[in-house]
Structure 1
Amino acid sequence: MFIRLAEPSDAGKLVSLIAEVEQSNFMLFGPGERKITVEQQEKHIEVMKRQETSAIFIAEEEARLLGYLFAIGKNPARTKHSVYVVIGIAEQAREKGVGTKLFTALEKWAIEQEIHRLELTVMTHNEAGIALYKKMGFEIEGTKRHSLWIDGKYIDEYYIAKLL
C-alpha cells in the first residue's frame, strides 16, 4: 500500500470509494445522498491541486483505492494556518494501518505547507474513528450538541484538533 496525492484520473475510483464509505453512516452525507459525477470529481481534484493549503491523499494497493483523506484549506489570512480534514476508509481496509498512513502523509505535507492546525468533527458514537484520531495525537476540544439529524434522531459530534 502506498499513499499519494490524487490526480484527476483517480476521479472514477474516488467517487466509488466515497459512495462505499458513506454506507458506514458515519459521514456527513448519508448512503446514496451525495450525487457527484466523475466529471465533477475530476474538477474538484484539479481545483484542490491548485490550492496551496488543500490536498487529497489516497491510499492505493494494486490499483485499488483503500482510503482517502481530504485536507481542505481556508482562504482568510486569519485561518490559513488551519485545514479541515475528511477521511474515509473502505470497510475491508479498516484496522489495517490505512488511516495511520494517510494521517502521517497529511502531517508531513501540512508541515511543508506551514499548516499549524488540523481539525475535524466526528460523531460521538464513532468509536473506531475517535480511537484513530486519538492515536494520531488529536484531542477533543468540544461537543457540537445535536449537530446532525440521522435516522430520526439528533447526533452529537466532537470537535477534534491537532496542533503541529
Structure 2
Amino acid sequence: MLISRKDFNIKSLNYTIRSAVEADAEALSDLRLQIDGETENLDREPGEAFIDPKGFQSIIKADTESARNIFLVAETNGRLIGFSRCAGNDLKRFRHKVEFGVGVLKEFWGYGIGKNLLQESISWADENDIKKMTLHVMESNESAMRLYEKLGFVVEGILKDDKLLSDGNFYNMIVMGRLNNLN
C-alpha cells in the first residue's frame, strides 16, 4: 500500500517520509547492509540475510500491491537514511495484525526519524482496519521501548535468552503490541 509523502524539519534536518518505490531498491540494499553493521539492536550481522536490489524490487512491488503491507523510507537530499516496514499475514486467523520493523542510520539518530516512521505506520494501520501492530525489541534498547510505550504499545511478553550478541551473552527480547481501539 502507498501513503502520501510527508516532510519534516527536526533540529535543522529536512527529511521526507514516503512509500518505497522500486527505484529505491539499490539504495535500500546498501542502507540495510550499513544499518546492520551499526547496531546490535537489529537481528542481523552485517551481510546476513542479504537482500540484493532485485530482492528489494520484489518486496516493494508486493508491498505496494498488498493492502496488508507498507514499506516506508526516510530520505534527505536524495539519500535514503532510514526505512520501516509493516508486514501482514494473509491467513484468516492473523489478518487483523501486522509486524513492524524499523532501521535508521546511526548518524541520523535523534532526529525523530524512527518515531515518524512508526507514527506514519500507525496512522496507516488505523486507517486500514489493522487491529494490532506487533514488534520485538531488545531489552537493553530502553529508548526504543519508551518510544513504543509512548505511542501506545504495551509489553506482551519476554523471550528469554533470545538473542546472542558479539559479547557472547544472551539477551531477552521484549514482545510489544498495540491494539487499534478505534474499531
- Residue 25 of structure 1 contacts residue 31 of structure 1 at CA under 8 Å; is this kept in 2? no
Structure 2 residue corresponding to 1:67, chosen from 78, 82, 85: 82
Contact 1:99–1:132 at 8 Å: present in 2 too?
no
Distance (Å, rounded) in 1 between the aligned partners of 2:151 and 2:82: 16
Count, aligned residues: 164
Radius of gyration: which is bigger? 2
Contact 2:33 / 2:50 at 8 angstroms: preserved in 1?
Answer: no
Counterpart for residue 111 of structure 2: 96
1:132 Cα deviation from its structure 2 partner: 2.1
Say if 2:170 is the partner of 1:154. Answer: yes
Matches within 5 A, 1:1-164: 1-23=15-37, 24-151=39-166, 152-164=168-180
CA distance in 1, matches of 2:49, 2:94: 28
TM-score (norm 1): 0.94
Q: State how far apart, in whole Å, the 1-side matches of 2:179 and 2:73 are.
A: 22
Q: Deviations over 1:13-66 (max 9, x none)?
A: 111111121121111111222322111111111112121101101111111112
Please, what TM-score do these two structures have when normalized by structure 2?
0.84
Structure 2: any 5+ residue segments left out of the alignment? 1-14
Amino acid corresponding to residue 68 of structure 2 in structure 1: T
For 2:73 and 2:50, locate their aligned partners in 1 and report how far apart those are by CA, in whole Å. Answer: 21
The percentage of counterpart residues that share the same residue type is 26
SS in 1 for 2:98: strand
Runs of 4+ in 1 over 3 A off after TM superposition: none
